[in-house]
């Protein structure tokens, strides 16, 4: 495989440079002195930002965008082999790297590399660690899969030997990484359009663990099924974490009026510090314990770890309060898997509010069909459920299901659930049925957040953005 070396900058072209992950990697190369070009279907805030950094961005994908100076081409999994730029790179026999392969190549240039994996919680835990590393003044380079206000976006360009990134399991992308520290937050059935089943997913996470450097550490959820079998034969050391069990876990958990937890951190059987988070939910207590374990392995001063965790206020679309309209609190969350939905709704239950309205947009037909019963059980935790149409993403409807199928499942459980096909209908329904003091939670990985934004734009109190 072609090896990217910071000491030898080459001209790199990105097919699909405007994606949240691709843009971050392009920015890192620009900072290291690489000439960077790229293409995307449309102009965006991310492409304009890259242009300001020095990239040349083409809008529309054409063979001539691959110039004579191009030496390496990077592409995303969404790029089809018939893409004209992809075809031109093949014709010219240029070195080609997938986004995941490039991420792995960049990681080789850092001695302290941290990769955060897991079916859920990657963005939040990566962001917690980002705050810890910055509090410790380690000057890290960071690539996160969401927008983190403290770094002004999705990437931070540091100058040290520390690199922090998310590690996505979809299409086995994370198998291109060889980190010093690898975190596995959880392993659930998801992305079943790629993986065969949970055993197949578990196998991929085991391969990720095998890629951790021998002198490094795997930080693993203590309740991972057959944990001894999963970790047997690994060359790295293993530390576990969890809410109530693990080398790093929490005791004496309490919540304030916003649902923010306070807990005592227990490290290897010893009660240590009292920590208060500014993000809600028991799942974030678990995420914080994983971040604490990584912090200790990296010899981060305990005071910096505490300061980092306590300064973290969340990332965009992770239980993000958008505002208040007519006394109704609008919160948005990216949750699109039953486990994530359950965690978010349990966090909402700790928020001192009236009724909880979950406005859910299922994400992909494959996931909705394969986890239909689990979705119904998770959504049943809300007081009221409003379902939008399935967000197709990369799929087409060939499975004969719809959000109304999920509505019928919910009604069988006794839930108050409605299906409304348009955002306008959903907005009008909420305005006529919600009461002051209620909490409306827009949820999903698609564009359902627009419902909350439209409600705020049309009503009062829209500047009340602080919980």
Q: Which positions are annotated as active-site residues?
A: 122-123, 166
DSSP 151: G
Query: Which helix (H) or strand (E) element contains residue 321?
Result: strand 320-325
Contact 334, 344 (CB under 8 A): no
Strands (E), 137-267: 141-148, 153-156, 162-166, 181-184, 217-221, 237-241, 248-255, 261-267
Phi and psi torsions of 338, nearest 5°: -55, -40
* Residue 446 DSSP label: S
Nearest to 215 by CA among 104, 301, 297: 297
What 3-state DSSP class applies to 356? strand
Strand, helix or coil at 384? strand
Classified as helix, coil or strand, 265 is strand
Handedness of CA 427, 431, 437, 438 (dihedral sign): negative
CA distance 198 to 201: 5
β-pair type (96-98, 141-148): unpaired
Count of residues for the chain?
467
Is 357 in contact with 439 (CB distance < 8 Å)?
A: yes
Phi-psi region of 152 (alpha: psi -120 to 50; beta: other; left: phi over 0): left
Q: Which residues contact 203 (CB under 8 A, 6 or more apart)?
A: none
| Strand duo 320-325 + 270-276: pairing | unpaired
Q: Which is it for strands 261-267 and 248-255: parallel, antiparallel or unpaired? A: antiparallel
Contact at 8 Å (CB) between 138 and 164?
Answer: no
Q: Are 34 and 25 in contact (CB under 8 A)?
A: no
CB neighbourhood size of 413 (10 A) = 12
Distance set, CA 356 to CA 108, 200, 207, 329 (Å): 46, 36, 40, 10
Q: Coil, strand, or helix at residue 170?
A: helix
């Amino acid at each position: 495989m072609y090896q990217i070396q910071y000491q030898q900058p080459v001209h790199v072209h990105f097919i699909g440079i405007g994606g949240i992950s691709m843009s971050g990697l392009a920015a890192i190369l620009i900072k290291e002195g690489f000439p960077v070009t790229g293409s995307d279907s449309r102009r965006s805030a991310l492409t304009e930002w890259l242009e300001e950094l020095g990239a040349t961005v083409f809008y529309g994908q054409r063979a001539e965008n691959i110039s004579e100076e191009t030496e390496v081409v990077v592409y995303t999994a969404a790029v089809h082999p018939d893409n004209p730029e992809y075809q031109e790179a093949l014709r010219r026999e240029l070195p080609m790297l997938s986004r995941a392969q490039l991420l792995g190549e960049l990681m080789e240039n850092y001695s302290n590399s941290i990769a955060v994996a897991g079916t859920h919680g990657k963005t939040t835990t990566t962001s917690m660690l980002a705050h810890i590393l910055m509090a410790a003044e380690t000057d890290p380079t960071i690539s996160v899969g969401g927008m983190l206000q403290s770094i002004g976006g999705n990437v931070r360009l540091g100058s040290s030997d520390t690199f922090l990134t998310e590690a996505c399991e979809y299409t086995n992308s994370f198998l291109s990484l060889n980190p010093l520290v690898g975190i596995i937050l959880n392993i659930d059935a998801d992305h079943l359009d790629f993986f065969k089943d949970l055993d197949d997913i578990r196998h991929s996470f085991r391969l990720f663990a095998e890629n951790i450097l021998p002198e490094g550490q795997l930080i693993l959820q203590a309740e991972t099924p057959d944990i001894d079998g999963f970790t047997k034969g690994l060359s790295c050391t293993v530390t576990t974490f969890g809410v109530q069990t693990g080398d790093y876990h929490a005791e004496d958990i309490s919540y304030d009026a916003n649902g923010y937890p306070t807990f005592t951190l227990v490290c290897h059987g010893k009660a240590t510090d009292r920590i208060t988070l500014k993000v809600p939910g028991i799942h974030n207590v678990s995420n914080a314990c994983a971040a604490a374990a990584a912090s200790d392995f990296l010899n981060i001063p305990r005071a910096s770890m505490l300061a980092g965790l306590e300064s973290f206020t969340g990332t965009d679309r992770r239980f993000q309060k958008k505002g208040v309209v007519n006394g109704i609190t609008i919160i948005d969350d990216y949750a699109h898997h039953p486990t994530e939905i359950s965690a978010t709704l349990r966090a909402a239950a700790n928020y001192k509010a009236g009724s909880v309205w979950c406005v859910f947009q299922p994400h992909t037909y494959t996931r909705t069909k394969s986890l239909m019963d689990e979705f119904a059980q998770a959504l049943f935790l809300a007081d009221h459920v409003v379902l939008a149409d399935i967000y197709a993403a990369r799929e087409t409807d060939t499975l004969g299901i719809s959000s109304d199928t999920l509505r019928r499942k919910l009604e069988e459980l006794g839930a108050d659930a409605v299906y409304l096909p348009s955002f306008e209908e959903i907005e009008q329904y909420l305005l006529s049925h919600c009461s002051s003091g209620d909490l409306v939670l827009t949820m999903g990985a698609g564009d359902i957040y627009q419902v909350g934004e439209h409600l705020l734009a049309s009503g009062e109190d829209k500047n009340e953005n602080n919980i």
